[in-house]
């Protein structure tokens, strides 16, 4: 949801580093991009609609020891050169991630005072406000402007009268990284330059004065505050595509390792005693998240219901926050979020925490906002996930949630089971021929329906999201039993139904669904771990027999199989699977 970066250097060209940083941040939005550099008291700006690469060759001409940059996911105003950030006014240039909810009112007020606006964005009011309040002290002007803003904002501000950057953080993510040559403001830790060895994570409302020598943090009233500087360590998972044509396929291939690392992280870093008390003491569990994270919760619901025997519900975070249920200290709320920055998830669980519930965050990002909201954190150790589509992080979420559910039984067997599930993924990824065959069918279908029962239903819903997100083929995920209650009306010879059958107890009923679809001349592909089901259906459907796996752990293997199908369909149709149109990696606006 927009990426911002700012670099202040003792020596060297900050503009060049900002450009490289924007390339790393592009997963946060890729509708337009821009940068400003401060050189000898003059700000030079370049901005363009489209991808960061469109800034070349002009970006190459920017020089200076201080620079800021922005890659945009459009909320207000179409993605074009004018609406691209930075926005400039007087002596200021500003990049913004977030949404200014009261921008209409501010725009009106500023226009009445004579200000003119070039863009359709909400963000332009910020720079106009700062310019309006500027009487020679940029820090004061920024603080006064920030106090007028409602919504969410991480800002990087350049002023032609002073070296360095002024940053503001409120509800949108921002970190300040340090190396021997100055400091870097950035939306996300993984997008910091490799030279950075430590970071400060500002609190909401903080204003930071960033120079090449020092970084000073203030609260919103400009009283200095202390923010802890923590070391960061090089990623265990390498950034870069590592020889793969796309991040998506690279990250699918990192799923087995993610399971192992997540188990390791659980035993090393989680306060297991306290977490066990939370899980055992819960009279009700609410799992919440958005998109893929919500879908991981759907699968985990069976884990908690079966293993802990406790009532468990799964709620979409953007809905939950507007209809919060009654909670008590015995209500355990589990927030699942890869980025830890998803605004809807943070708002929903913050409200439930205020109402008295216990909150556990299952997240892939250690210093993220959700870790500050939750009472306890269970890490997903997937390493940086760059592709917008969540793949390895979903598998890591399943592993973390499975371990949590097994806290009431036996953690040792859980670890053994997950090792087997990981091995199943490794085995599956040795051959991709079946995925290719199903992808060819997906690519030529007018719609693709994913069906399953129980855990297979949870996998079907996630498979559908993955396919539509990266290939733009229309798709839906359904409980197989619901087919005859509506979806059957859509089945014809141009549709493909992918039926997931990994639970022997439910297999017969799913085979009935296959027959019903075939009778309506619909095409069918079957994803199964069960040899007898494969044998029975191979004459009438394309069947992919997955490595053998227990029903409870089958989502680890079947979900990866369907991630491969989505990836291959996208490639066949000439889509960019890493950067699907209109989307961004972390959704920090509501």
> Residue 199 Cβ, how far from ligand M6R at the closest point, in Å?
19
Q: What residues from 287 to 326 belong to the interface with ligand M6R (CB under 6 A)?
A: 289-293
Q: Annotate 41-81 with DSSP letters as a single string.
A: TEEEEEEEES-GGGGTTGGGG---SEEEEEEE--SSS-SST
Whether 355 and 380 have beta carbons less than 8 Å apart is answered as no
User: Could you say which residues in the range 336-375 bind ligand M6R, by CB under 6 A?
Assistant: 337-339, 342, 345
Closer to ligand M6R by Cβ: residue 132 or 394: 394
Token couple for 572: 């066949």
Cis ω for the linkage preceding 86 (within 30 of 0): yes
- Pairing between strand 284-289 and 331-337? parallel
Whichever of 289 and 555 has its CB closer to ligand M6R, that residue is: 289
Q: Judged by CB, which is closer to ligand M6R: 19, or 30?
A: 30
Q: Which of 2, 186, 200, 263 is catalytic?
A: 2
The contact mask relative to ligand M6R for 550-589 (x = CB under 6 A, - = no) is ------------------------------------xx--
Shortest Cβ 572–ligand M6R spacing (Å): 19
- Distance (Å, rounded) from C-alpha 374 to C-alpha 204? 16
Q: At what angle do helices 124-133 and 138-148 cross, to 10 degrees?
A: 130
Binding of residue 388 to ligand M6R (CB under 6 A):
yes
538 is catalytic: no
Interface with ligand M6R (CB under 6 A), residue total 17
> Sheet harboring 284-289: ordered strands across?
311-316, 284-289, 331-337, 358-363, 376-379
Alpha-carbon span 194 to 179, nearest angstrom: 9
Binding mask of the shown chain, residues 457 to 496, with x at each position contacting ligand M6R by CB under 6 A: --------x---x---------------------------
CB under 6 A: which stretch of 13-21, 244-252, 385-393, 564-572 binds ligand M6R?
385-393
Note whether 258 binds ligand M6R by CB under 6 A.
Answer: no
Chain residue at closest Cβ approach to ligand M6R: 291
Q: Which is nearer to ligand M6R, 295 or 331 (CB)?
A: 295
Q: In the chain, what's the furthest Cα-to-Cα distance?
A: 79
CB-nearer residue toward ligand M6R: 73 or 134? 73
Question: Do residues 469 and 496 touch, judged by C-beta distance below 8 A?
Answer: no
Sequence-ordered list of residues with C-beta below 8 angstroms from that of 12, at least 6 positions apart, any chain: 65, 181
Stretch that binds ligand M6R, among 34-42, 43-51, 226-234, 384-392 (CB under 6 A): 384-392
Out of 4, 157, 390, 510, the residue judged to bind ligand M6R by CB under 6 A: 390
Check residue 29 for interaction with ligand M6R (CB under 6 A).
no
The dihedral through the CA atoms of 103, 105, 110, 116 has a sign that is positive
Q: Which is nearer to ligand M6R, 215 or 335 (CB)?
A: 335
What are the E-state strand segments in 453-578? 475-479, 495-501, 523-528, 542-545
Q: Is 585 a catalytic residue?
A: yes
Positions marked active-site? 2, 585
Residue ranges in contact with ligand M6R by CB under 6 A: 289-293, 337-339, 342, 345, 388-390, 465, 469, 586-587
């Amino acid at each position: 949801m927009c990426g911002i970066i700012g670099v202040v250097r003792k020596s060297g060209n900050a503009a060049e580093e900002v450009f490289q940083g924007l390339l790393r941040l592009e997963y946060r939005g890729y509708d337009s991009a821009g940068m400003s550099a401060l050189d000898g008291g003059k700000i030079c700006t370049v901005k363009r609609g489209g991808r960061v690469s469109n800034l070349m060759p002009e970006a190459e001409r920017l020089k200076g020891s201080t620079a800021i940059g922005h890659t945009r996911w459009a909320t207000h105003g179409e993605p074009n050169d004018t609406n691209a950030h930075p926005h400039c006014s007087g002596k200021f240039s500003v990049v913004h991630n977030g949404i200014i909810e009261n921008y209409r009112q501010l725009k009106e007020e500023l226009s009445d005072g004579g200000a003119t606006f070039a863009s359709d964005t909400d963000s332009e009011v910020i720079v106009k406000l700062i310019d309006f309040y500027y009487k020679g002290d940029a820090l004061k002007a920024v603080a006064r402007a920030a106090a007028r803003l409602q919504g969410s904002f991480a800002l990087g501000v350049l002023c032609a009268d002073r070296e360095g950057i002024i940053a503001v953080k409120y509800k949108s993510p921002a970190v300040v990284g340090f190396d021997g040559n100055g400091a870097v403001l950035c939306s996300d830790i993984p997008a910091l330059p490799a030279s950075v060895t430590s970071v400060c994570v500002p609190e909401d409302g903080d204003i930071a004065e960033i120079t090449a020598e020092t970084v000073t943090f203030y609260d919103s009233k400009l009283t200095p505050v202390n923010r802890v500087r923590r070391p960061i360590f090089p990623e265990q998972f390498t950034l870069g595509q590592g020889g793969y044509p796309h991040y998506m396929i690279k990250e699918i291939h990192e799923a087995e390792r993610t399971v192992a690392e997540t188990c390791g992280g659980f035993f090393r870093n989680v306060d297991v005693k306290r977490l066990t008390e939370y899980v055992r003491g819960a009279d009700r569990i609410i799992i919440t998240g958005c998109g893929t994270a919500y879908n991981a919760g759907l699968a985990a619901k069976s884990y908690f219901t079966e293993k802990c025997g406790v009532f468990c519900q799964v709620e979409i975070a953007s809905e939950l926050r507007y209809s919060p249920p009654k909670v008590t200290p015995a209500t355990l709320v589990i927030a699942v979020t890869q980025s830890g920055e998803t605004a809807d998830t943070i708002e929903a669980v913050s409200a439930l925490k205020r109402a008295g519930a216990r909150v556990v965050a299952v997240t892939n990002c250690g210093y993220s906002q959700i870790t500050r909201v939750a009472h306890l954190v269970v890490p997903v150790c997937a390493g940086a996930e760059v592709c917008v589509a969540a793949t390895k992080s979903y598998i890591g979420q399943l592993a973390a949630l499975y371990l949590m559910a097994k806290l009431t039984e036996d953690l040792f067997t859980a670890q053994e089971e997950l090792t087997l599930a990981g091995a199943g993924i490794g085995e599956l990824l040795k051959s991709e021929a079946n995925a290719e065959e199903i992808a060819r069918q997906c690519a030529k279908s007018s719609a693709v329906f994913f069906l399953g029962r129980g855990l297979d239903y949870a996998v079907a819903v996630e498979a559908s999201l993955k396919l539509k997100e990266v290939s733009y083929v229309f798709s839906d995920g359904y409980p197989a039993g619901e087919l005859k209650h509506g979806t059957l009306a859509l089945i014809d010879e141009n549709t493909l139904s992918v039926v997931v059958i990994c639970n022997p107890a439910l297999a017969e009923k799913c085979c009935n669904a296959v027959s019903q679809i075939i009778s309506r001349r619909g095409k069918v592909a079957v994803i199964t771990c069960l040899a007898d089901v494969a044998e029975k259906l191979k004459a009438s459907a394309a069947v992919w027999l997955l490595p053998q796996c227990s029903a409870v752990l089958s989502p680890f293997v079947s979900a990866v199989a369907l991630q491969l199908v989505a990836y291959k369909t996208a490639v066949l149709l000439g889509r960019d699977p890493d950067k699907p149109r209109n989307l961004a990696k972390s959704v920090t606006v509501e």
